Amino acid sequence: MAEETLSNLLQEERTFAPSPEFAAQANGTQELYDQAAADREGFWADQARKYLTWDTDFTEVLDWSEAPVAKWFGGGTLNASVNCLDRHVEAGNGDRVALHFVGEPGDTKDFTYAELHEQVQRAANVLSGLGVVPGDRVAIYLPMIPEAVVAMLACARLGAPHSVVFGGFSADALRSRIADGEAKVVITADGGYRRGKPSALKPAVDDAVSGETTVEHVLVIKRTDSEVDWHEGRDLWWHEQLEAAEPEHIPESFDSEHPLFILYTSGTTGKPKGILHTTAGYLAQCAYTSHVVHDVHPESDVYWCTADIGWVTGHSYIVYGPMALGATQVMYEGTPDTPHQGRWWEIIADKKVSVFYTAPTAIRACMKWGEEFPNAHDLSSLRLLGSVGEPINPEAWMWYRRVIGGDRTPIVDTWWQTETGAIMASPLPGVTATRPGACQLAVPGIDLDVVDEAGNSVPDGSGGYLVARSPWPGMLRGIWGDLERYKETYWSRYKGLYFAGDGAKKDEDGNVWVLGRVDDVMNVSGHRLSTTEIESALVSHPKVAEAAVVGATDAMTGQAVVAFVILRSEALHEADEEGEGGELVTELRNHVAREIGPIAKPRQILVVAELPKTRSGKIMRRLLRDVAEKREVGDVTTLADSSVMDLIKEGLAT
Ligand code: WT7
C-alpha cells in the first residue's frame, strides 16, 4: 500500500460502538479478555473443554519444549467429525439444517445434521474400503458442493489428513500437490457450474494422476452430468460407492496432535508450502472464534461464508468452526454475478442470512456494480458482517456497513492466515467500538504485536512487522515434509517470535492496521500468490528468457499481477513483426493460467530488454512496482547498471 494512502488510513477516526441490544446477546465479552490476560493457558484449556467433546480429557495444555513445533492438549483424544456431526445428532439436533445448498443454476437442497452424518459415515466406509487408514492423505478437488464438506469430514473421521486443492487450480498445480502429499485417493467431480455453464474438473485429475503417481483410486461425484473419460479399476462413482456402503461407521478416537489436514499456500519460493494442521487445537480455536467473533448462535442464526472450500477460510469457517458449533449455513456454488449482479443479496433475503462473511475484493466489486442490486432485496435479517483476506479500505468498509448492513450491523475485520488456522485479530462485535479499515486487536487468548527491525515492540502511532509472541492452539505444526523451511520461514527472523510476513501499524489508539505482505508474496483478490511461482511459470514458456513479477496496487483486486519479461531472441523477432506483440502476450497469459490457474494470470505483461538488478544479481522489484503503478521511479543507486530503468521506461513509452 502506498505511503500516502497509509497516512490517510491512520487519520481514520470514525468509530462505531456496538448497540446495547447487540452487546446484550453477544457471545464475546470483556471477561474473555480479562480471563485470557490473567492466565492464557488456563483460558485455552477452558475453551477446549467448552467447545469440544473429548473421548479422553487432556492432561497438559501446552508443550512448547520442541519449539517451534507446539503440542496442545496433550493426552487428550477426540474425533473431529464426531465433534462436527455425531454429537449434534446425539443432542437431539439431527433435524437442524446444516447446509442450505444453492447451486449456481438455481437448484437448492437442504441437508440436516442427521443427513450429513449418514453421508459422512458412508463415505468413511467407502474410503476405508479403498484401503485408506489413519495417516494416509486424500486429495480433494471439488466445486462448492455439499459433497466437499462430506469428503472432508469423512477423511477427518478416519484420521486421514485431507489435502484440498482449489478447483480453480490447473492440472499441474494439482499434480505437484498430490505428489508432495503422496495422496492415495483423489475425490473429484465431473465438474461444477461456473458463470452459467458446466466447468469440467475430471480432465485435470486425469492429467494430474497420469504417469507415475501415488494415487490408487479416483472417486468421482456426479454434478454436471458431463461426459468423462473413465479408467476402469481406478475410477469409481461416488454415488454408487456411497449407496453400496454401510450407513454406520464407528469412529476412532485420535490424539490431539493427530494431523487433520494439509493445505498448500504460496510462499516466497516457487514451491507451494503444505501447511500442516492438527486436530484439537485447530478445532478448538475455529469453534471459539466462530462463536465469539462471528457471534454464531447455532439455534437461531443462518450463517454464510462466501469463501471456497479450497482456501483456509472454507476449511475453518465453513467446515470446522461453524459445524463444531452445530450452525446452520448457506453454501453457494457459483459466482456473485451469475445470472445477475444481485445474486448474493437474493440468497440472503431468501434464506434469511443473519451473519455474512466475505472478502474486501467482493465488496469492492459490488460497490462498482451499484447499490441498486442490494437495495432491491430485503437484507434486514443481517445482524453481523465480516471481512477477511486483505486490508479493507475504509470506504469499502463504510459502504459495506451502510448498504449491506443497513447502518446497523457491526463489522468484524478479521486478520489471520492459512498458517494461523483461525482468526487472530478482530474486534469482538459486542465489545469493541469498530474502526473502518482496521482489524484492531488480538482476540482474547492471542498474543500479537507489531515490532521494528530489531524485534522491539513499536509504540502507538508507529509501524513495523506483525508477529505473534506466544504459541496459539490453531497454529501450523509445520510444513509438510520440510521442518527446516518451517523454522526458516516463520521463526528465524526474530528469536522466539512468529513472523507473519505482514507489515502493520499501531494507530494512536493502539489499534492494529495490517498493511499487506512484506515478502515476495502478492495478495490478489484475497488469494495468496507467489511472485517466484509466476516467474517460474513464465520462464517455462519456450519464448521467455527471463521474467520478473510484481504485485501492483489495483483498485478492485487489491493487488494485481504485473509481469516484466525478456524474450528469447527468436521470439523477440516475432513480437516485432506483430507490432505490439499482443498475441504473444495473450499466449503468455494463457500459459500462466495453464501452469498455475486462472487466478495467477497477469493483468499486464510488459516486454522489456533488461531487468533492474543489484550487483549481486537480485531483481529490484521495488523499482518495477514503481513502473507498474506509474509512479516516479525510486532510488536506483544500488543497481548494477543504473541506465536499465531509463531503458525500461523508454521501451514502454514507445
Ligand atoms: C494473508 C493470509 C485468512 C484467510 C484468507 C487469506 C492477508 C488476511 C486480512 C485482513 C489485512 C489480511 C495478510 C495475510 N490478510 N486477512 N483482515 N486485513 N490483511 O489467507 O491466503 O493464508 O493469506 O492475507 O497479508 O498474511 P492466506
Ligand 1 within 6 A of CB of 449? no
Per-residue model confidence as pLDDT tens digits over 195-206: 999 999 999 999
The rounded Å distance from CA 305 to ligand 1 centre is 15
Reduced 3-state DSSP string for 129-196: HCCCCCCCCEEEECCCCHHHHHHHHHHHHHCCCEEECCCCCCHHHHHHHHHHHCCCEEEEECEEEECC
- What is the per-residue pLDDT for 576? 66
**What does the pLDDT read at residue 650?**
79
In the prediction, which pLDDT does 257 show?
98
Question: Who has greater pLDDT, 378 or 652?
Answer: 378
State the chain's mean pLDDT as an integer.
Answer: 95
502 is in an annotated binding site: yes
> How far are the Cα atoms of 473, 486, 622, 633 from residue 2, in angstroms, in the given order?
34, 30, 12, 13
pLDDT digits (tens, 9 = 90+) for 536-593: 999 999 999 999 999 999 999 999 999 999 999 888 777 666 555 689 999 999 999 9
**What number is the average pLDDT over the span 386-408?**
96
Q: pTM for this one? A: 0.94
pLDDT value for 641: 85
When pLDDT is averaged across residues 152-180 and rounded to a whole number, the result is 97
Q: What's residue 196's pLDDT?
A: 94
Q: Among the atoms of ligand 1, which is closest to the Cα of residue 418?
A: 22
For 203-259, how does the pLDDT look when each residue is reduced to its tens digit (9 = 90+)? 999 999 999 999 999 999 999 999 999 999 999 999 999 999 999 999 999 999 999
Per-residue pLDDT for 8 more than 80?
A: no
Predicted confidence (pLDDT) at residue 79 exceeds the cutoff of 60? yes
Give the model's pLDDT for residue 1. 45
Cα 516 to ligand 1 centre (Å)? 8
In the DSSP assignment, the letter for residue 126 is: H
What distance in angstroms lies between residue 388's CA and the mean position of ligand 1's atoms?
7
- Whether 490 lines ligand 1, by a CB cut-off of 6 Å, is no
- Mean pLDDT calculated for residue range 372-399: 97
- CA 413 to ligand 1: nearest atom: 17
Cα(415) to centroid(ligand 1), Å: 6
Tell me if 265 CB under 6 Å of ligand 1.
Answer: yes
**CB-based contact 397:411 (threshold 8 Å):** yes
Is the beta carbon of 308 within 6 A of some atom in ligand 1?
no
The verdict on whether residue 390 carries a ligand-binding annotation is: yes
Which residue's alpha carbon is nearest to atom 2 within ligand 1? Answer: 417
* Res 2: pLDDT: 46
**Is 226 labeled as ligand-binding?**
no
Read off the pLDDT of residues 488-518 as tens digits, 9 standing for 90 and up.
Answer: 999 999 999 999 999 999 999 999 999 999 9
User: For ligand 1, what atom is nearest to the CA of residue 313?
Assistant: 4
At 431-482, the pLDDT tens digits run: 999 999 999 999 999 999 999 999 999 999 999 999 999 999 999 999 999 9
> Is the CB of 389 inside a 6 Å radius of any atom of ligand 1?
yes
Residue 133 C-alpha to ligand 1 middle, in angstroms? 33
The helices-and-strands tally (H runs, E runs) of the chain is 24, 30
Structure confidence at residue 6 as a pLDDT band (50, 70, 90):
low
* Ligand 1 mutation pick, 276, 316, 416, max ligand atoms within 8 A of CB: 416
Nearest CA to ligand 1 atom 6: 389
Give the bridge partners for 263, in sequence order: 275
Residue of the nearest CA to atom 12 in ligand 1?
390
Residue type, 273: K
Asked if 50 and 455 touch (Cβ cutoff 8 Å), the reply is no
Give the pLDDT score at 208: 98
Distance between Cα 400 and ligand 1 center (Å): 19
Q: Return the closest-CA partner of residue 423 out of 450, 445, 396, 456.
A: 445
Q: Is 416 in the pocket of ligand 1 (CB under 6 A)?
A: yes
| Domains parsed from the chain with CATH numbers | 525-651 (3.30.300.30)
- Judge contact between 526 and 360, C-beta under 8 A: yes
* pLDDT tens-digit map of 371-381: 999 999 999 99
* Nearest protein CA to atom 23 of ligand 1, as residue: 417
Task: List pLDDT tens digits, range 294-341.
Answer: 999 999 999 999 999 999 999 999 999 999 999 999 999 999 999 999
Decide if pLDDT at 429 tops 80.
yes
Confidence of residue 618 (pLDDT cuts 50, 70, 90): confident
Rounded mean pLDDT of 401-426? Answer: 98
Q: What pLDDT sits at residue 270?
A: 78
